[in-house]
Amino acid sequence: MKFYRHWSLTAKLTFLYTLSVSALFLIATFLWSYSLVGGLLQIGTNFGIEEILLVQNIMKAHPDNPVMLKQEVTWVLTRWDSQDSAYYIRILDHDQHLVMETPGMNSELHKQLFP
């Protein structure tokens, strides 16, 4: 690093300051993005768990009335503006027979791929 020796003290300090601030910005950006992605993944996981619990509660509270369950399963697509952000529900009984699924789910994800 011979080129570094011929710099003035001001140039050396400016270079080191710029280098250290850049490193701090990189570290801060990495930590911020890591926490943001982790938070978004946690929100998505909680949403899925809440939806499963909701469907289970409907099935327990109204086992002989499939109207409420059908409303929840078919309401999935109407509450989202875009098909890209929609989620699908498929309910199977103990023998793996289809009870109910969101309309269009079979065309997106066949039962053999995702039971």
Residue 16's pLDDT is 93
pLDDT in tens, 30-62: 999 988 888 777 776 677 787 788 888 888 887
Domain locations in the chain as residue ranges: 1-61, 63-115
The residue type at 74:
T
Q: For residue 90, which of 101, 106, 77 has the smallest C-alpha distance?
A: 101
Q: 22: which residues sit within 8 A by CB, 6+ positions away? A: none
Can you tell me whether residue 91 is helix, strand or coil? Answer: strand
Distance CA(11)–CA(17), nearest Å, equals 10
- Supply the pLDDT for residue 25: 96
Within 8 A by CB and 6+ apart from 7, the residues are 15
- Which regions in the chain score pLDDT beneath 70? 1-4, 44-45, 76-86, 109-115
Structure tokens at 90: 């498929």
pTM higher than 0.75, yes or no?
no
CB 58 within 8 A of CB 68: yes
State the pLDDT at residue 35.
86
